[in-house]
Amino acid sequence: MNTSRRQKRVASLIKEEVSRLLIEEVQDSFSGLITLTKVDMTADLRTAHIYLSIYGTEQKDAIFAFLDKKKGFLRKSVASKVKLKYNPMLIFSIDPSPEYQMKIDRLLEEIKKNEK
């Protein structure tokens, strides 16, 4: 994906603000560690794809339901701090990279075992 400098800058600002909101609003409501790993912006800057990693809890569905319920508040808070022409729609999803990394590590271990 070819992202512009503006997309990266806006993604960074949104990541900073949503991270702060996650700590203040969501982290206290649930046990475990919620980490915002990455924000991707669409080319028109109207949609922010926010990737989260959740550790230490099995309440992932409850966390995403809570975020979905608070989406309006989060959008309003982001809009008040990040001045843009359009208030971006926030889409939360789980970050697939930790599972991908574990899969690669497992494959490398299998290769090492097969070489011996």
When mean pLDDT is compared across 15-24, 28-37, 76-85, 99-108, the lowest value belongs to 28-37
- In order of 60, 61, 84, the CA distances from 22 in angstroms are 14, 16, 21
User: What pLDDT, on the 0 to 100 scale, is given for residue 50?
Assistant: 92
Query: What range does the domain containing 61 cover?
Result: 5-115
Q: What are the tokens at 38?
A: 């990455």
Q: List all residues 6 or more positions away from 90 whose beta carbon is below 8 Å from its beta carbon.
A: 18, 48, 50, 71, 74, 75, 78
Strand order in the sheet with 33-41: 33-41, 47-55, 89-94
User: What pLDDT, on the 0 to 100 scale, is given for residue 49?
Assistant: 92
Give the mean model confidence (pLDDT) for residues 39-59.
Answer: 86
User: What pLDDT, on the 0 to 100 scale, is given for residue 96?
Assistant: 78
Number of domains in the chain: 1
pLDDT at 112 over 80: yes
Of 33, 23, 45, 30, the closest CA to residue 90 belongs to: 45
User: What pLDDT, on the 0 to 100 scale, is given for residue 79?
Assistant: 84
Output the domain CATH number for residue 9.
3.30.300.20
**Stated pTM of the model:** 0.78
Rounded distance, CA 8 to CA 115, Å? Answer: 42
